[in-house]
Amino acid sequence: MATSSPGDPSSPLKPSRRVLDYLGSGKNIVASALALGGLGLHFAGLLGGVWPAVVVALYVIGALVVPSRRPVGVTANLDVGEIRKALDGAVRMSRSRMPPDIQAKIAEIRQEVLDLLPSLSAFPAGSQDLYVIQRTATDYLPSTLRAYLALPESYATTRVLQGGKTPQQLLREQLQLLDEKLDEITDAVHQHDTDRLLANGRFLEERFGKDSGGLSLPPQQ
């Protein structure tokens, strides 16, 4: 698990990073387009001596009318109690019918999430950037385990699916992927890197969200 924590996680983004973020933002793109339109009017001889003020005004208008970029995600207050309860439930599920190595991986994922919780106080309550932490604990992990446990035991351990892997092998792969993404999330939280948090959130939602059904398996035959 990633353990490095450069700088104070509660400190704001570095000025250079904020400048780069703004330059690539919709606000700057639209505002610059309007300002360039003003320059076009000037070169066409339509603005006279007031063209500098018009160009600046058009840029400001563009920056004001475009809303600030909001993170894509679920807005909800982070419920630490719910997270702990869901993680404990996942560990209990793993004890029913899973081999020791999978049980150990689920316990490792549980601890990784719990280790993250003290760092989350640096973010505002209800931060959309951190919804991925709660979703991992309360949705992605348990949904994946339930999908596996819904299969007959003999099918889960012996049935060879497309790609030459059994459901149990696919479960191992998905848990390993969750583990790796949690490492990246930990690093992003320590660096207060909201863009990376959002990117990981989108990836996990596409891979493990409700539309995917958690563990993706072909139907039984």
List Cβ neighbours of 90 (8 Å cut-off, separation of 6 or more).
106, 109, 110, 137, 141, 142, 145
Q: Are residues 48 and 85 in the same domain?
A: no
Residue 213, in any domain of the structure: no
Q: In terms of domains, do 37 and 107 share one?
A: no
Helix axes 141-149, 100-116, angle to 10 degrees: 160
Q: What is residue 3's predicted lDDT score, i.e. its pLDDT? A: 41
In 3D space, the residue among 100, 203, 207, 96 whose CA is nearest the CA of residue 144 turns out to be: 207
104 and 61 inside one domain: no
Q: Is 196 domain-assigned?
A: yes
CB 76 within 8 A of CB 134: yes
Domain that holds residue 190: 80-208
* 50 and 84 housed in the same domain: no
Residue 74: inside a domain, yes or no? no
Position 98, amino acid:
M
pLDDT of residue 12: 42
Residues 154 and 203 grouped into a single domain: yes
* pLDDT tens per residue across span 23-64: 656 666 766 777 787 777 777 777 777 778 776 777 777 666
In a domain, 6, yes or no: no
Same domain, 110 and 21: no
What average pLDDT does the structure give for the chain?
Answer: 75
Q: How many domains does the chain have?
A: 2
Q: Does residue 32 sit in the same domain as residue 124?
A: no
Establish if 134 belongs to a structural domain. yes
What CA–CA distance (Å, rounded) separates 142 from 94?
10
* 195 or 178: which leads in pLDDT: 178
Q: The whole model's pTM is what?
A: 0.59
Residue with tokens 């950037």: 129
If asked whether residues 97 and 200 sit together in one domain, one would say: yes
pLDDT digits (tens, 9 = 90+) for 71-116: 433 334 678 889 999 999 999 999 988 999 999 999 999 999 999 8
Instruction: Measure the CA–CA gap between 107 and 23, rounded to whole angstroms.
Output: 42
Does residue 42 sit within a domain? yes
Domain boundary among 65, 88, 103: 65
Are 86 and 192 in a shared domain? yes
Residue 120 sits in the same domain as residue 201: yes
Widest Cα–Cα separation across the chain: 83
46 belongs to a structural domain:
yes
Same domain, 47 and 140: no
Q: Are residues 93 and 169 in the same domain?
A: yes
DSSP annotation string for 72-96: PS------HHHHHHHHHHHHHHHHH
pLDDT, tens only, 136-149: 899 989 989 998 89
Q: Is residue 203 part of a domain?
A: yes
